[in-house]
Amino acid sequence: MNQNLVKVNKKNIGVSIDLRYATRNNFTKNKIYFSDQCYIHKVAYEHLHLAVEIAKKQNLYIKIFDAYRPVYVQEKLWDCLPDPNFIAPPDKGSPHSRGVAIDLTLLDQNGFELDMGTGFDEFSRLSYHGCLDISRKSYKNRLLLLGIMTDAGWDFFRNEWWHYQLFNSKKFPIIKDI
* Span 151-160, pLDDT tens digits: 999 999 999 9
Whether residue 164 is predicted with pLDDT greater than 90 in this model: the reply is: yes
Hey, which residues does 16 pair with through a beta bridge?
A: 63
Q: Give the whole-angstrom CA distance, residue 49 versus residue 67.
A: 14
Q: Is 91 exposed, middle or buried (0-12, 13-18, 19+ CB in 10 A)?
A: exposed
What is the separation of C-alpha 76 from the centre of its chain, rounded to a whole number of angstroms? 17
Closest CA to 165 of 20, 15, 41, 7: 41
Whether residue 1 is predicted with pLDDT greater than 80 in this model: the reply is: no
Q: What is the mean pLDDT of residues 44-64?
A: 98
| Distant-in-sequence, close-in-space partners of 145: CB < 8 Å, separation ≥ 6 | 104, 105, 106, 114, 116, 161
Structure confidence by residue, pLDDT tens digits, 94-112? 999 999 999 999 999 999 9
pLDDT at 11: 84
160 is catalytic: yes
How much helix, strand and coil, in percent to the nearest 5, is found in the chain?
A: 30, 15, 50
Give the predicted TM-score (pTM) of the model. 0.96
Pick the CATH number of 5-171 from 3.40.50.150, 3.30.1380.10, 3.40.720.10, 3.40.50.720: 3.30.1380.10
Domain extents in the chain: 5-171
- Catalytic residue from among 46, 53, 122, 160: 160
